[in-house]
A and B are shown apart, each in its own frame.
Chain A
Amino acid sequence: MEGRSKPGPWPGAVGEGAVIETAALTKRYRGGQLAVDRLDLVVPRGSVFGFLGPNGSGKTTTIRMLMGLIEPTSGAARVLGQEMPRAGRRVLPRVGALIEGPALYGFLSGRDNLLRFDAADPTAAPRTRAARVGAALERVGLTSAAGKKARAYSLGMKQRLGLAAALLRPRELLVLDEPTNGLDPQGMREIRALVRGLAAEGTTVFLSSHLLDEIEQVCTHAAVMAQGRLLTQGTVRELAASARARLAVTTPDTADAVRVLKEHGVHDLTVTDDRVTGELPPVDLADLNAALVRADVRVRSFGTERASLEDAFVALTGEGFDVAG
C-alpha cells in the first residue's frame, strides 16, 4: 500500500493525478459501427469513478480498450500513466478487473479457479499464491465454498469469485464492469460495501453501471456516455448540481402558497399533495419565507431540494435513462 503515495515510475507523464486518461479514443468495429467516438476521459487517482450509460453506449468497449483486449481504431489510452495496450505487461498486474461478468472454469473449484488466474500473471510470486488466494476468498466471503466446483455456484457467488480474482494482489486500480448485474438487493449491498472498503484503502475504483442510484451511492466522480460519446464528466456533486435545485414548500394551504410565491417571482410551480415546488427565485429565501407566514400560509417545511443524478442525466440527454443507444 505504501507504493500508492509515491508518484510512480513514469516521471513526466501527463496528468500526474490521473489513473486513466484517454485522448480522442475511438473504436470502429469491422462492420463500420462506431462503438466509441473520440472519448476524452480523465479518472483522478483515489476516486470512485462511476462510468454511466445505457446498455450499448460503449462502456464495455472502452473498458476493453483500457485493458488491452481491443485495439483502438484511433486515439490513445493511458492507464497508470502508461500507454495501453503496449504497456499491458507492466500495467495490468497492478490492475484488477471484472469485465462483463465473471467467467469461470466450471469443472474447477472456486479456489482452483483463483489459482489458475493467479498463475497466469507472470509477476505473481508462486510462493505466496496459496496465501493470497485464501485472503481473496476470505475478503469476498467465499472461504467455506472454496472447495465447491464453480459450476455449482450461484450467480452472486460467481460474481464474488470474479471479484476475488480481481483482488488477488494489492491493486492500484480496480475496473469493475457492472459488478452488481444480476444480483439480488442483498448481494448488491455487499458489493457496494466492498467497493467502499477498497476505496477507503486508497484503491482507485472505476465502476461502470447503468444504474444511476448505484453510482450516486458509491461514487465520488462520474462520466456519462451515450451512443459512444462522452456527454459529461466531473464530480458527482457537480453533475447533480448542474441540474438546477428547486424550492420546495410543504404546507396544507397550497393554493395560498402558490399565489404568494407567484407574486414573489417564483416560476414553474407544481403542486403534489401538500408540496409546492418551483424554480429558485433570485430573491432571498428568508424574505420569501417571511412573506408566506405573513400571508397566513402554514408552512411545515421550507427549503431547496438537491437535484438527483437522474435529473442531471435527463437534462443531459433529454430522455429517460433506460433507453438503449
Chain B
Amino acid sequence: MSRAETLPIGMPSLSLFRSEVTTTFRRWRTLALLGVLAAVPVLVGIAVRIETSRGGGGGRGDGGGGGGPAFIGQVAGNGLFLVFASLAATLPFFLPMAIGVIAGDSVAGEASAGTLRYLLVAPAGRTRLLLAKFTTTVLFAFAATLVVAASALAVGALLFPVGEVTLISGTTVSFGEGLLRALAIAGVVALSLTGLAALGLFVSTLTNSGIAAMATTVGLLITVQILDQFPQLSAVQPYLFPHYWLGFADLLRDPVYWDQIARNLGLQALYVAVFGSAAWARFTSRDVTV
C-alpha cells in the first residue's frame, strides 16, 4: 500500500483545519457577521461626533467615568478611545452573538446539510474534526474582535484627534503604548469568548439542526447575561461566563490590575475544559443518522 498519495497514519496534517477555516470564512454569513461588527464602531463614532459638535465644547471628557468602562466620554478627546468604547459596546451582545452563530452551527450545520457523514467517512476522525471546529471558532472570535478594533481605530482616527492616552488611573502614556494596550485588550476580549465557543460547540453536538443549535446558544447567552444582572444571584454570578467580561478595562490602569482579568481567563479555561469534554464525549459516541 505504498502509494504516492498515501501518507503514514498519525502524521499531523493541518489540511482539515485549513479547509475548515477557509470554508468558514468564505461563507456569506460569516462575512455578514463581520460586516455588522465593523459597522458598530462607525455608528458609535458618528453618534459621538454629532453629539460633541452639538454640545460645542467636546474637550477632555473626564465626566465619562460614571458608568463603568464605557469610555464614550473620552472618545471625542482621543480617537483611540473609540476602540475601547466599541469593544465595551459589542462585548455584551454583538460579539458573543456572532460567536454563538458560528459555534452553534459548527457541527449541527454539517449534520443538517448531510456533509457530516461524508467528513466522517473521509475519514476526518471525530476528535480531529471537533478540534478543527473549536479552533476555527476561536480563530473567528479573534478575527471578529480585531475587526471591531480595527474599524474603531480607523473611524476614531478619521473623526477625532489622536494622541497621548490618559489612563483610568490618571497617568498619561504615549499613543504607541496606548495602541499596544488596545491590542492587548482585543486579545483579552477574544479569549473572553472561548468559554462561549466551547458551550456553543457542545450545544452543536446535541442536535442535527444548525438553526436550533445557533438559537439555543444565543438564547443561553441572553439568559446568562440577564441572570448576571440580578443581585439576588450574586452567589452563582462568579461562575457565569460573562461575569468578568468587562474587566478588560483594568488593562487601562497603571499599574495594570490583573485580578479580574486572571479570573476571567481562568473561568473561560474552566468552561472550555468542561464543555469541550462534554462535546467530545457526546460527539465521539453518537450515532450519525443524518
A67, A93, A121: most-surrounded residue (chain B CB, <10 A) = A121
With an 8 A cutoff between CB atoms, is A123 at the interface?
yes
- The reply to whether the CB of B121 lies closer than 8 angstroms to some CB of chain A is yes
A89 and B122 CA atoms in complex are apart in Å by 9
CB < 8 Å neighbour of B118 from A90, A107, A165, A170: A165
Q: What is the distance, in angstroms, from A144's C-beta to the closest C-beta of chain B? A: 22
The residues of B that contact A122 with a CB separation of less than 8 Å are 7, 9, 11, 13, 15-16, 123-125, 128
The yes or no answer to B19 lying at the interface (CB within 8 A) is yes
For chains A and B in complex, what number of residue pairs have CB atoms within 8 angstroms?
119
Question: Is B119's CB within 8 Å of the partner chain A?
Answer: yes
Residue of B5, B9, B26, B288 most packed against chain A (CB within 10 A): B5
B27 within 8 A of A: yes
* Interface assignment of B50: CB less than 8 Å from any CB of chain A: no
CA distance A177 to B288 in the complex (A): 16
The proximity string for B residues 115-155 relative to A, scoring 1 for CB distances below 8 Å and 0 otherwise, is: 10111111111001100000000000000000000000000
Given contacts A71-B285, A107-B26, contact A123 B7 (CB under 8 A): yes
- Which residue in A9, A69, A95 is a CB contact (below 8 Å) of B288? A69
**Contact string, B258-290, partner A, CB cutoff 8 A, digits 1/0?**
000000000000000000000000000101110
List residues of chain B with CB within 8 A of the CB of A286: none
Range class of the B interface residue count: 35 or more
Q: In the complex, what's the smallest C-beta–C-beta distance from A152 to chain B, in angstroms?
A: 15
**Interface size band for A:** 35 or more
- Cβ < 8 Å to B, chain A residues 153-199: 165, 169-170
Q: B123 near A88 (CB under 8 angstroms)?
A: yes
A-B pairs with the 10 shortest C-beta distances? A103-B114, A119-B19, A120-B122, A92-B123, A120-B124, A119-B15, A69-B288, A121-B122, A70-B287, A128-B5
Decide if B1 is an interface residue (CB 8 Å cutoff): yes
Which among B5, B117, B288 is the interface contact of A169 at CB below 8 angstroms?
A: B5
Residue B232 lies at the interface, judged by CB distance under 8 Å to chain A: no
Q: Contacts A70-B288, A97-B121, A125-B4; is A116 near B13 (CB within 8 Å)?
A: no
Closest CB of chain A to B76's CB: distance in Å?
Answer: 42
Q: CB-CB < 8 A to B27: which residues of A?
A: 107
* Given known contacts A105-B113, A107-B26, A126-B15, A3 and B1 CB-to-CB distance under 8 angstroms: yes
A241 in the interface (beta carbon within 8 A): no
Contact B26 A121 (CB under 8 A): no
Question: Beyond the given A64-B288, A89-B123, A127-B5, could you list 11 further A-B residue pairs with CB under 8 A, ordered by the A residue number?
Answer: A67-B120, A71-B287, A92-B121, A93-B123, A99-B118, A103-B118, A105-B115, A108-B23, A122-B13, A124-B5, A132-B5
Binary flags per residue of A110-146, CB closer than 8 Å to B gives 1, else 0: 0000011111111111111000100000000000000
Contact yes or no, A69 B121, CB < 8 A = yes
| Cβ distance B89 to chain A, nearest Cβ, rounded Å | 31
What's the nearest-Cβ distance from chain A to residue B102, in Å?
15
Complex: how many Å from CA A88 to CA B6? 16
Q: For A169, what are the chain B residues with a Cβ–Cβ distance below 8 Å?
A: 3, 5-6
